[in-house]
Amino acid sequence: MAKSLYSERHKRLVAAIADQRRAKGWSQAELASAVSSTRHQSYIAKIESGQRRIDLVELLKIAGIIGLDVHALIDQLAAIPEE
């Protein structure tokens, strides 16, 4: 089994975050600031590049900010066969 950090599911997860952020017209820095006043652009950059894992609590917060449907995303990810 491939490490989940480099799995197809993880790639799709971070792509969904990045795509929705861009669709909202937000920069990485703007999203990081909306997540927390102590977060910097590099926090979002590392998530979107796959260098940093995102936990469920972070996903829910980011998704709520950018309007990403977590339920639909989970269904899409679950449909991808495990590697």
Say what the pLDDT of residue 4 is.
Answer: 61
Is residue 2 over pLDDT 60?
A: no
Confidence of residue 83 (pLDDT cuts 50, 70, 90): confident
Q: What is the pLDDT of residue 3?
A: 58
Q: How do residues 29-80 score in pLDDT, each as one tens digit?
A: 999 999 999 999 999 999 999 999 999 999 999 999 999 999 999 999 999 9
Inside any domain, residue 31: yes
- Buried/exposed 22-35: b ≥16 CB within 10 Å, e otherwise: eeeebebeebbbbb
Q: What pLDDT, on the 0 to 100 scale, is given for residue 68?
A: 98
Residue 73, in any domain of the structure: yes
Handedness of CA 24, 28, 31, 35 (dihedral sign): positive
Q: Quote the domain boundaries for residue 54.
A: 4-78
Tokens 């977060």 found at: 39
Q: Classify residue 83: in a domain, yes or no.
A: no
Number of domains the chain is built from: 1
